[in-house]
Structure 1
Amino acid sequence: MAQVRTDLGDGHAVIDLCEAALEDSHRLVPKVRIMAMQQQAHGVSLTHDRDAVDRLIDEADGLLAQVDDDLPWGNAYRRTPGYLEVQRATCYGRLGLGVEAVSLWGQALDVVPETARRDRGVYLARHATAAAGAGEPDQALEIARTVADIAVETRSAGTLPRSWRPRP
């Protein structure tokens, strides 16, 4: 539900849902705590609280070494190098911190393998949006062209942000 509320731009609901999930955090496995904290970071970004974004992402990062299961669900942080920095960059873009987001995207994308085409396309789309927000339209356009190529290659319109998709 917190992810849905994030997509709807309802930061306060995201925060409430994540706080409820973390209420007895000592009883939760680290993986679930990480998932709730990173989603709460998205919620606080919607309320324009950069300090809380950084605190939550840093705290989640500190738990990564404690995850000790091989269950396939909730393992995006294992599949995606720099996963939590990707989340931070996404939050920074939402906060309107274009310059900081562009810098983080540059670092994060350096470690995402070329073979992870769809993920790379999603991240590049976010990077392009951040570049536009940072007042770098030429850079944004160059990145967006790469995103479009990836979307065609992978046949994944989901790579494109909703605001970029054609309306019916």
Structure 2
Amino acid sequence: MPLSDFLSMSKSGGYSEEAEDDDGVIAISVPTGEGPITVTLSRRQFTHLLAAAGLTAMLPETALASEALPEAVVRSTAGLSGADYRQLLAAHQNGHRLLDPRSHIVSLRHTLRDIDHVREGAGTATRRDLRQVQGEYAEHLSWLYRECGDIASCRRWADQATAWALEGGDTSMAAYMMVRKASLALDAGDSTTAVELATAVGSASWTVPPVLYGVAKAYEARGHALDGTVAAAQLDEATELITGGRSEGDPAYLRFFAADFADVQRATCYVDAGIPSRAVTILQSKVTSLPVSNHRDRAVHLVRLGAAHAADRVPDAAAFAALGSLSEARRVSSEHVLAELAQLDATLTARWPTQPQVRQFHEALTETRVT
């Protein structure tokens, strides 16, 4: 399939859907010695506090990885440079677990409109750079919508990211959006589309960063695993590229793809291809080595571990892992993980409906869905 078939271009600079209301507030529960207190912030106040790393002080258990923006520019996000906007985006990315995804979405879309205003009076070079920045924001919005379980919006923002990236000359981001769509195809069990998209990344005439090519190879292998084949050579190549193909010029978003990602993709391939015992060993190791603050990653690893135990016909272990994943998924408001848990619940309740641990997980998941 030609590369152009996978790229959705937009003829306008507008957004792919109506913007949310900016007048709402964000409520943050802050732990104290006397118990939690609730702090409310406007959307703009939240953006400023996040940019200034102020949430680190409020929530000491979770620190933002990025440095604070200069104090002089924290008063308003309008009028920042491309580097400043990227730094603000990094703060959102590294602090994604601090708030539910929709709170980040509203703040990021507000900043996108600020960038639009800056571009209106800027020169050609600045407009081009800011268009690239907008592509990076759209990419993260696509991921956040996936976390919300809103796949239609996830796809629309992936298309918007592609359009802005190509307009700004960022072919790596455009290729990355093809990888994003390959991931969505895998979620839907569409092995053919996933393999086509992943293969297209490798055959692109653009220069694709080795790490990104490694991610594409991992997703290609997962597509084959859905058809019952463990593509060991592709998985090995993916691991080598992801762990050893980094350079200083890599796009910032590739920092989230490391050895743990490659290992989890390999484990997922083993489950999909019917070799779950190998996956259990990998995933147990990954869960025990995660930092305490990595709630979303733990949720993902545990639901995959639960699926591996279920495929290996160990229902109590599967349900126990699923309960742990459910606790973490609630904490980070990940509808994406909850959807995987629902699939696991369907498997467990169909095969082992009378197992006490299975019933406990089913009741806990049902309560979560109701509330």
User: Is structure 2 residue 237 aligned with structure 1 residue 59?
Assistant: yes
Measure, in 1, the Cα distance between the counterparts of 2:255 and 2:337.
Answer: 20
| In structure 1, C-alpha distance between the alignment counterparts of 2:206 and 2:251, rounded to whole Å | 20
TM-score by length of 2: 0.41
CA distance in 2, matches of 1:97, 1:30: 29
Runs of 4+ in 1 over 6 A off after TM superposition: none
Taking a change above 3 Å as real, the CA distance of residues 143 and 21 of structure 1, as seen in their structure-2 partners, is same
**CA drift at 1:149:** 1.8
The structure with more radius of gyration: 2
Partner of 2:287: 109
Alpha-carbon separation, structure 2, partners of 1:127 and 1:25: 38
Judged with a 3 Å threshold, the aligned counterparts in structure 2 of structure 1 residues 151 and 23 are, in CA distance, closer, same or farther, namely closer
Confirm whether residue 138 of structure 1 aligns to residue 338 of structure 2.
no
Distance apart, 1:85 and its partner CA:
0.6
Count of residue pairs the alignment pairs up:
164
Deviates more, 1:124-133 or 1:24-33: 24-33
Are 1:154 and 2:332 an aligned pair?
Answer: yes
Relative to the length of structure 1, the TM-score reads 0.84
Q: CA RMSD in A?
A: 2.3
Question: 1:125-144 deviations in whole A, cap 9, x for unaligned?
Answer: 11011101101111112111
Identical-residue share of aligned pairs (%): 27
Deviation at 1:153, TM superposition (A): 2.9
Choose which of 214, 221, 224 in structure 2 pairs with 1:41: 221
Decide whether the 8 Å contact of 1:12 with 1:47 is kept in 2: no
Bigger helix share: 1
Q: CA deviation at 1:24?
A: 5.0
Q: Output the CA distance in 1 between the equivalents of 2:207 and 2:334.
A: 38
How much has 1:117 moved relative to structure 2? 0.5
Deviation at 1:97, TM superposition (A): 1.5
Q: Does 1:129 align with 2:300?
A: no
1:42 shift after superposition: 1.3
